Structure 1
Amino acid sequence: MASTKKNIRELTLEQIIAIMEAAGEKKFRAKQVYEWIWKKGAHSFDDMKNISKKVIDLLDTEFFIDNIKISDQQKSNDETIKCAFTSFDNHITEGVLIPTTSRITACISSQVGCSLACKFCATGRLKLMRNLTAGEIYDQVLLLTRLSHEHYDQALSNIVFMGMGEPLLNYKNMLAGIEKITSEEGLGISPKRITVSTAGIAKMIKKMGDDEVKFNLALSLHAANDKKRSEIMEINDSNNLDALAESLIYFHQKTGSRITFEYIIFKDFNDTLADARELADFCKNVPVKINIIEYNPIDQGEFQQADKNKVDAFAEFLESLNLVVNVRRSRGKDIDAACGQLANKNGSIALKERVLK
């Protein structure tokens, strides 16, 4: 049983070398095993074709690989693909592959479920089951890369941690997963192509600054005054806008990176020019770009999509102040793959309902 074995992807190369040498094997054998795990993405020891049966048996007796697999997928009318990933212990997470004319983006998860309960997000209604491991984070990118080649004949151009969960509440595994995604011993993807999105945990944003991370940071802002933000995001009660501003300034000083503000625009809630002025004022703290995101309704949700003319006026006002603004039209809505809709709701797998609800 996997529960009696150790997860081999939690071992360093040096630890695997020690295990091989203790078994009377050469050092290079450990490097081959490590390459199979991370460079080639082996999901079974039997996949390691140039490894002897003796070593395979040793590995299979002592270890398991915490691999995930695609257990369901749906393709949207706009070619977006949503995947259900099943873990070795039968938990379900979701990821999305988003093609546009200029890029292929993989949206991946960091946790099974979420603990933050943001009012506009379907994922926030799920119970947090556990953190994803570094290997499971890596696997999502590996599997979506393969899917991108299969469906679009292209490699991934971008990776965003905007799926299920709060990445900064799984900080250690997130960093370890990104290290394997970006390193030459792994997938070799540039960290500048990776964006980690957070609901806003000030001390962990500072921690990223101290660690001088090379990937991009996005803050899910959605309102630039504390009263409104706390109304839709409980995390704001303990991480208010002043605390976030301080942490963002610190992060920028440490990394030199421009930050992305994500702003989901809701009808009659945060869509006025007064709201835009508050957002513009908050943008004075650090260099930013702003993604205004079309709201995607969820079941029993209390919000509605803002009127197009108000969205356009909102964006134009910000642009008049020389701010960098993009209006993001949602993709994959017909399969519940759009921003805020990942809730393991759709599809044919009954396990989804059992595990996460």
Structure 2
Amino acid sequence: MKIEKIVKVPTGEIYVAEGEKGRLEFLTVGDYGKDANIKADFLGITRELNGVPNGEPMPLSEKWVITISTQYGCSMNCKFCDVPKVGAGRNATYNDLKEQVLTAIRQHPEVKRTKRLNIHFARMGEPTWNKDVLTFGLQLPIWVRNYLGDSLIHPVISTMLPKANNNLRNFLREWCLIKNIAYKGDAGLQFSINSTDDKQRDYLFSGNSLSLDEIAEIGCELPMPKGRKYALNFALADDSIIDGKRLRELFDPEKFMCKITPLHRTASCEQNGIATTDGYELFTPYKAVEEDLKANGFDVIVFVPSYDEDNGLITCGNAILSGKLPTSKYEIVTL
């Protein structure tokens, strides 16, 4: 895989490279650490997040996050995401998936081992359309071992649960087996929910996601997770409808946890008037939702990025290939 350019931002590097079907985008992120930008009472991290200051990421030898694309573009057309601007979703090949991870690792030959390598299938595309994600996810340790030895690998799939994907249930069941057996629980699965109101969800996901009842049916079919619970993710907008009681009726808190984030400030969010007002400065937008979800039995993580993370476009929903550039300090290296 030939790198076309590297966009260096304060918390990582975004790569644009030539894949087997065209240009792909993936990135390396240095993590601040859980004590910096999450609140999770069940983990003993109980202070409120009134903004997360820009800071120095941990060394990659402590924690390394590589986020890769599973498709060239995306056809989900979510109202909050810039990736559909890149084009319709076409599946990346197995070799594309492998080379994104290995190319990112090769850029840092000084790192021989890391305490935790997170591989997020979450840059461009809806991963459940691409069956090669399952094969590659299973074989990922084989490829990484040559570079990072026995480093702990934690792959995570994030899905918008496309209603047109007739293979969705099979894909998710197989991924859960990979999580529970091959990784002994050290892998993740995240459902992007964003609202418990189906009309609001139809708008946000342009009618392309299953209803909440249909998602809950799938959730019931999945095996109990080993390790971290499956995550129900809520990117919180000012008008988000999130009803903890309804969620509790549909999803088992022993199987599912909840994650709350601000909506990242993508071009699509700006165009569609979707925002989390004060979400980067105050805990206020999250407080009532967090309390409601906890009162209904859910473990809750509130994750707030710094301005450097969001303005550097390393957060979900962004894509350099969509034509947007960082508004934080950045450097472009052309190769």
TM-score by length of 1: 0.67
* Partner AA of 1:243 in structure 2: E
Relative contact order (alpha carbons < 8 A, sep ≥ 6): 1 or 2 greater? 2
Cα gap change, 1:118/1:184 in structure 2, threshold over 3 Å: closer, same or farther?
closer
SS at match of 1:234: coil
* Counterpart for residue 220 of structure 1: 192
Q: Contact 1:315–1:325 at 8 Å: present in 2 too? A: yes
* Counterpart for residue 177 of structure 1: 136
Matches within 5 A, 1:50-89: 68-77=1-10, 79-89=11-21
Which of the numbers 136, 159, 166 marks the counterpart of 1:198? 159
SS at match of 2:84: helix
Q: Are positions 1:209 and 2:141 aligned together?
A: no
* Post-superposition CA distance 1:146-203 (Å, at most 9, x none): 34555898465211111100011112x1122223312379667789711111101474
Q: Contact 1:252–1:286 at 8 Å: present in 2 too? A: no
SS at match of 1:252: coil
* Counterpart for residue 229 of structure 2: 258
Name whichever of 132-141 and 178-187 sits farther off: 178-187
SS at match of 1:193: strand
* Partner AA of 1:200 in structure 2: L
* Counterpart for residue 93 of structure 1: 25
SS at match of 1:143: helix
Structure 2 residues without counterparts, runs of 5 or longer = 34-61, 180-186, 326-330
Q: Contact 2:69–2:121 at 8 Å: present in 1 too? A: yes
* Partner AA of 1:85 in structure 2: A
Q: Return the alpha-carbon distance in structure 2 between the equivalents of residues 194 and 185 of structure 1.
A: 12
* Counterpart for residue 317 of structure 2: 340
Q: Are positions 1:296 and 2:296 aligned together?
A: no
Cα gap change, 1:133/1:301 in structure 2, threshold over 3 Å: closer, same or farther?
same
* Post-superposition CA distance 1:95-126 (Å, at most 9, x none): 34242236321111100100110111111333
Q: Contact 1:224–1:282 at 8 Å: present in 2 too? A: no
Structure 1 residues without counterparts, runs of 5 or longer = 1-67, 352-357
Q: Contact 2:116–2:154 at 8 Å: present in 1 too? A: no
1:258, distance to aligned residue in structure 2 (A): 2.7
SS at match of 2:79: coil
* Partner AA of 1:205 in structure 2: R
Which of the numbers 123, 146, 165 marks the counterpart of 2:83? 123
* Counterpart for residue 144 of structure 1: 104
Cα gap change, 1:252/1:157 in structure 2, threshold over 3 Å: closer, same or farther?
same
Q: Contact 2:114–2:151 at 8 Å: present in 1 too? A: no
* Post-superposition CA distance 1:263-297 (Å, at most 9, x none): 10011233xxx534444444337611211111112
Cα gap change, 1:92/1:159 in structure 2, threshold over 3 Å: closer, same or farther?
closer
* Partner AA of 1:76 in structure 2: V
* Counterpart for residue 127 of structure 2: 167
Q: Contact 2:72–2:90 at 8 Å: present in 1 too? A: yes
TM-score by length of 2: 0.71
Cα gap change, 1:189/1:107 in structure 2, threshold over 3 Å: closer, same or farther?
farther
Cα RMSD over matched residues? Answer: 3.3
Q: Contact 2:225–2:255 at 8 Å: present in 1 too? A: no
* Partner AA of 1:287 in structure 2: K
Of the two, which has the highest radius of gyration? 1
Q: Contact 1:224–1:241 at 8 Å: present in 2 too? A: yes
Q: Contact 1:160–1:196 at 8 Å: present in 2 too? A: yes
SS at match of 2:7: strand
1:303, distance to aligned residue in structure 2 (A): 0.4
Q: Return the alpha-carbon distance in structure 2 between the equivalents of residues 233 and 121 of structure 1.
A: 10
1:221, distance to aligned residue in structure 2 (A): 0.8
Higher helix share: 1
Q: How many residues align?
A: 277
Q: Contact 1:123–1:340 at 8 Å: present in 2 too? A: yes
* Counterpart for residue 328 of structure 1: 303
Q: Contact 1:137–1:177 at 8 Å: present in 2 too? A: yes
Cα gap change, 1:98/1:283 in structure 2, threshold over 3 Å: closer, same or farther?
farther
Q: Are positions 1:233 and 2:192 aligned together?
A: no
SS at match of 1:213: helix
